[in-house]
Structure 1
Amino acid sequence: MKEKQLNEILIKNLQYYFDRKGITQTDMARDLNFPETTVSNWMKGNTYPRPDKLQMMADYFNIKRSELTEEKPTNLIEINQDLVKIPVLGAIACGDPILAEENIIGYTYEVADTLPSGTVFALKAKGDSMEPTIPDGAIVLIRQQANIECGEIAAVRVNDDSEATLKRVKRQGETLFLMPDNPKHSAIIITEKNPATIIGKAVSFKVTL
């Protein structure tokens, strides 16, 4: 495929996802820390992004890289949906508000009508402790709340760790247990010497291939 054709496909696909998410190329450049002139040159067909930049944009839109670089089928029917931008959190600095700018590592987009009420954010699952329920790498939607029913999955910060862990909450009397769904892992017992802070309830997750 010729370079000009590759550029045209990329421009068309990027514009499609800009429109779908209700953002501009300037918004994406800011969110991904790309120079605006670089993105502008891509959209004018002057230059073509490196593979790592293509992957960053694909992750940003929660799509496969091929959905940016390959021509889309012509028989698709677009369904308009109101999408909202949900922050994905990384390390959560102690004492900071949960949604402080320095805690945000990216964004995911969700259909507004499917979201619970209240403050919502997302975490990226790390490791296999919650498999098979939640696979490694899944984007998990969290509703911020301090109280969790027994048996529900919560995002919990243990012993002031900067990153929250996803575990199923169980109680026996006054003792709180953070239970993995994967039997290869051990439960975390919450004590005065090993305190925990529940920051929210897991409500859904999604995985991209």
Structure 2
Amino acid sequence: MEEIISNNLKKLLKEYKINQNELAKIAGVSESTVGKWILKKATPRMGAIQKIADYYNLPKSYILEEKPTNIIELKNEFIKIPILGKIACGEPLLAEQNIEGYFYELTEFLPSGNVFGLIAKGNSMEPTIPDGAKVLIREQNDVEYGEIAAVIVNGNNEATLKRVKKQGNNILLIADNSNFDPIIINPNEAFKIIGKAIRVTKDL
């Protein structure tokens, strides 16, 4: 691990044309500490790695994992995905005030259209979507019968993930966990689909 991190930090110094002192300031450590990382005598803490990654808009894997090519080329293969928190009424979906963080996805595996992320809360969609999982959502205002969608119900400012089924004039929001009853939305209730769930990832 020390050797991989050392090699990646050397690449970062070269690609961004900075020295160890400048990297130390970014990471919030001393220059001698960075020197130890480069010389494979110490391993940076996750907090320092996160600061470096955030400063250069890179995922932490660029520092922690072995790479076959240079950092700039790899960075161009990823896109920064905004994670929506509470959704401000009347604001565009991806307005800055709605975003609480970011994660990264390979560009070649992304669907067309606008995409964003949600963090699953609770176990109503387990085992399909575990609590705490990152869910990639494609922005759209409708889904096919039985697909999982991010929806806003009754003016709530936080999206929920459920399977959407239509029954007459009503809409059923179905949990994958059988311990949860369906939510029935009648035509008089405020309801909005904001996107379709595309992919689920969960950090270990």
TM-score, scaled to structure 2: 0.72
CA contact (8 A) 2:49 2:60 kept: no
* Cα shift at 1:192: 4.3
Work out which of the two has the higher radius of gyration on C-alpha atoms and give 1 or 2.
Answer: 2
Per the alignment, do residues 96 and 12 of structure 1 end up closer, same or farther by CA in structure 2, a change over 3 Å counting? farther
Match of 1:164 among 159, 163, 175: 159
In structure 1, the gaps of 5 or more residues are 1-5, 25-35
Write the letter of the residue equivalent to 1:158: V
Please list the CA deviations of residues 26-83 of structure 1 after superposition, one character each: whole Å capped at 9, or x if unmatched. Answer: xxxxxxxxxx9952543845689x978358659966658xx96x7x67xx64596511
> In the alignment, is the contact (CA less than 8 A) between 2:154 and 2:190 conserved in 1?
yes
| Alignment partner, residue 128 of structure 1 | 123
Structure 1 position 86 matched with structure 2 position 73: no
What amino acid is the match of 2:47? K
Q: For residue 95 of structure 1, what is the aligned residue in structure 2?
A: 90
Find the counterpart in structure 2 of residue 119 from structure 1.
114
Q: How many percent of aligned residue pairs carry the same amino acid?
A: 43
Where does 1:64-75 land on structure 2 (aligned, <5 Å)? none
Counterpart in 2 of 1:39? Answer: 26
**Structure 2 unmatched ranges of 5 or more:** 17-22, 38-43
Q: Are the structure 2 counterparts of residues 151 and 193 from structure 1 closer, same or farther at C-alpha, using a change threshold of 3 Å?
A: same
**What letter corresponds to residue 165 of structure 2 in structure 1?**
K
Q: Aligned pair 1:204/2:199, yes or no?
A: yes
Equivalent position of 1:137 in the other structure: 132
1:195 CA drift (Å): 2.0
Q: Which residue of 2 aligns with 1:28?
A: none
Equivalent-residue separation in structure 2 for 1:181 and 1:146 (angstroms): 21
- Which secondary structure does the structure 1 equivalent of 2:97 belong to? helix
Q: For residue 89 of structure 2, what is the amino acid of its counterpart?
A: C
Change in Cα spacing, 1:45 to 1:12, as seen in structure 2 (3 Å) is farther
Structural RMSD (CA): 3.8
